[in-house]
Amino acid sequence: MGFCPARRIWPMMLGTGFFILAREDGDVPKAEVEDWAWVGGRPLGLALGPDRRSLVVAEADKGLLLVKPNREVQLLTDEAEGLKFKLTDGVDVASDGMIYFTDASYKYKLHGDHMLDILEGRPHGRLLSFDPSTNHTVVLLRDLYFANGVTLSPDQRSVIFCETPVRRCQRYHIHGEKKGEVEAFVENLPGFPDNIRYDGEGHYWIAFAAGRTRSWDILMRYPFLRKISPVLGKLASLPELERDSGVLSVTLDGKPVALHSDQSLYAVTVGLKIGKHLYYGSLTKPYISRIELSQA
Ligand SMILES: *[C@@H]1O[C@H](CO)[C@@H](O)[C@H](O)[C@H]1NC(C)=O
């Protein structure tokens, strides 16, 4: 699931391909929702489009989609350098209209075998850009480990993207003298990062679909175990991995501020602070939830 706030409406995606809007009433979104557009598949990433009226969707199976204000769904791109995307995952849109997104894997699809990609531990992910004024798709970085969430920095000079199995997010410079360079942003995260969102107030919010459990540590340390992947893939998707989920806030420089984790946070895929609350979506639950952030 992905979501993004858009002034007084909340576009949200449920795992089933439904795409709905929740109306906001002041600070509190009402539980009033409507079906907005059917995109099908598994929409994993969501951002306001270049015109701020349409929505850009990273849909796992089809690729990068545009939902126009009239609710028409259009495919923007589904391949780069001759390789089809297999797991379009995260997306954000720069203020100049350029779309930045990730394909977590050109090798494995989401249904059934994305755990195999993580377990195989090889880099099949790419960071890409799509220019709506030319329709050109460009590969910015390749050989990434399950490239997942992506977000623009507020100064629009870089994008931060997360790689799930190696528990890190990196910064890729899109403008300035470091253009094209990659550098560490935050490493050794306490869980496996999914989406990353910027709250407009100086912090990024990184969602962990799973904490760093013992079984994961063992799998990551002994590559030969990962090779028996079909069996382990099933084992590794057992509920244990869905525990210790949470959301970490970090500064603009990637310094961790606070980890929000409790039993109601379950398989969190996206988290974002809006006002006094942390809103989050889950891989396994068909709703969004919020918790009040204490100012203590
Ligand atoms: C980009 O693709 C869209 C949809 O296929 C098309 O309408 C538009 O003319 C294209 N733009 C350019 C610059 O080729």
Angle between helices 214-221 and 229-236 (to 10 degrees): 160
pLDDT of residue 109: 56
Higher-pLDDT residue of 224 and 45 is: 45
CATH tag, 42-292: 2.120.10.30
Q: Which of 6-10, 56-60, 177-181, 287-291 has the lowest mean pLDDT?
A: 6-10
The SS3 assignment for 78 reads: coil
Q: Whose CA is nearest to atom 2 of ligand 1?
A: 135
pLDDT of residue 110: 54
Angle, CA 104 vertex, CA 89 and CA 38 arms, to 5°: 25
Rg (CA), the chain: 18
Q: How far is the CA of 225 from the centre of ligand 1 (A)?
A: 47
Q: Whose CA is nearest to atom 10 of ligand 1?
A: 135
* Residue 181 banded pLDDT, cuts 50, 70, 90: very high
Task: Give the whole-angstrom CA distance, residue 273 versus residue 292.
Answer: 9
Task: Return the C-alpha torsion angle 290, 291, 295, 296, nearest 10.
Answer: -160
Q: How far is the CA of 130 from the centre of ligand 1 (A)?
A: 12
Task: Give the whole-angstrom CA distance, residue 44 versus residue 67.
Answer: 14
Q: Whose CA is nearest to atom 5 of ligand 1?
A: 76
Q: Is a pLDDT exceeding 60 seen at residue 97? A: yes
pLDDT of residue 291: 79
Q: Is a pLDDT exceeding 70 seen at residue 227? A: no
Q: Is a pLDDT exceeding 90 seen at residue 279? A: no
For residue 228 the two structure tokens come to 């028996």
Ligand 1 atom closest to the CA of 132, numbered from 1: 1
For residue 16 the two structure tokens come to 């089933």
DSSP 293: P
Report which of 139, 135, 250 is spatially closest to residue 184, judged by C-alpha positions: 250
Work out the percent of the chain whose per-residue pLDDT is above 90: 33
pLDDT of residue 160: 98
Task: Give the whole-angstrom CA distance, residue 185 versus residue 260.
Answer: 20
- Is the dihedral angle over the CA atoms 190, 93, 57, 101 positive or is it negative? negative
Higher-pLDDT residue of 178 and 281 is: 178
For residue 221 the two structure tokens come to 């340390």
Name the residue ranges covered by the structural domains of the chain: 42-292
Q: How far is the CA of 197 from the centre of ligand 1 (A)?
A: 29
Q: Is a pLDDT exceeding 80 seen at residue 253? A: yes
The SS3 assignment for 31 reads: strand
Q: Whose CA is nearest to atom 3 of ligand 1?
A: 135
Report the pocket of ligand 1 as residue ranges, CB < 6 Å. 134-135
Instruction: Tell me the best of 64, 77, 135, 137 to mutate to test the pocket of ligand 1, counting ligand atoms within 8 Å of each CB and taking the most.
Output: 135
Q: How far is the CA of 58 from the centre of ligand 1 (A)?
A: 19
- Is the dihedral angle over the CA atoms 215, 216, 221, 227 positive or is it negative? positive
For residue 113 the two structure tokens come to 């075998």
